[in-house]
Amino acid sequence: MRILSAATALPANYYPQKVLIDAFRKYWGGRLDRFDVLERLHAATQVDGRYLALPLESYPQANWGDSNNSWIEASLQLGEEAVAKVMKAAQVAAEHIGAFFFVSITGVCSPSIEGRLINRMNLSQRMKRIPIFGLGCVAGAAGISRAADYVKAYPKQACLLLSVELCSLTVQPDDLSAANLISTGLFGDGAAAVMIAGSEYEGGGGPEIVDTRSTFYRNTEDVMGWDISGKGFKIVLSREVPEVVLKNLGHDADQFLADNGLSRKDIKSWVIHTGGPKVLEATEKALCLPAKSLDASWQCLRKTGNLSSASVLFVLEEVMKNRRPEPGTWGILAAMGPGFCSELVLLKW
């Protein structure tokens, strides 16, 4: 099993953080007692700017239905772009793709996005469709793991993973909670696609997927997720997220690596979800990583913010295109998300 290629797509609407802060100042006005608090929270995210699905003047949408319709339209556009890029990079024809996995946490539709793209892009009618909802930030890594499970069963096939996350369309404009204020400065919009091939697939190259590991942490449902109401998705984002990372990630990684006859010192490449500065710092501490080990993740965070499930796939693309390790290098791809849970993927470059 191996990853043949990764490709990303971003909306046309890019705004520096200062422009977004000014927009919130205009919208919230006197409803936010201390606007300097929001400015400090946004500065703490260390995000330079973000790409938004819609032009800034189009927010907020009238209701959840309007926001979700915008999510469908933008998901199809960005999804088509990312899928076309990854198919071209992997040199995989549509008839050779056996399954299409789609992950997102920022909108819903039926038929789901991958089904609509099969029509829109004239992809194979015989593709197996696997839409996955609810995994949030962990879904990019989990999608790779589930795709690896598929090509393990069908080693002559390739399969496609697509993540589209349009976090701006979930922002609750009248929610002045700390969680929502942080999310308005951290989360952005984007799409990413990955092509995964079985061990008997002919053609292409890329890092080998050696093993995967899913871990669920009991009684942590309130750490991260959504409360869903008539107004749409309301962010649940606890201060405990970095603590959960510190408490669990190092042990999880050590056990996973030991089961594969390895230890942390053998890992020279880290592809980590861009959860935010505190999450990345907790990851560095939990894994006792040398300086600059997560430079690719920090760079993606500054450029696009947290893109939920797509983030780790943006980091993967950056590493594959610009920071590819030497052949034979061991690597870990990892993300954590609602559940609370983690997903680890052992790679050999």
Q: Would you please indicate which residues are annotated as catalytic (active-site) residues?
A: 137
Distance CA 169, CA 278 (A): 24
Structure tokens at 111: 């038929």
Please name every residue paired with 32 in a beta bridge, in sequence order, or none if there are none: none
Separation between Cα atoms, residue 99 and residue 202, nearest integer Å? 17
- Crossing angle of helices 178-186 and 35-44, rounded to 10°: 50
4: tokens are 């043949």
Q: Could you give the CA distance from residue 21 to residue 164 in angstroms, rounded to a whole number?
A: 25
Phi and psi, residue 294, nearest 5°: -110, 30
Phi/psi of residue 127, nearest 5 degrees: -60, 140
C-alpha 254/C-alpha 238 separation (Å) is: 26
The span from the CA of 200 to the CA of 154, in Å, is 9
Which DSSP state fits 223?
A: S
* DSSP characters over 19-61: HHHHHHHHHHGGGSS-HHHHHHHHHHTT--EEEESS-GGGPSP
Give Cβ neighbours of residue 218 (< 8 Å, ≥ 6 apart).
none
Q: Which residues contact 212 (CB under 8 A, 6 or more apart)?
A: 144, 145, 148, 149, 343, 344, 345, 346
Q: What angle do CA 99, 6, 323 make, to 5 degrees?
A: 150
* Residues contacting residue 66 through CB under 8 Å, at least 6 positions apart: none
57 contacts: CB under 8 Å, gap ≥ 6: none
Instruction: Answer yes or no: are the C-beta atoms of 113 and 75 closer than 8 Å.
Output: yes
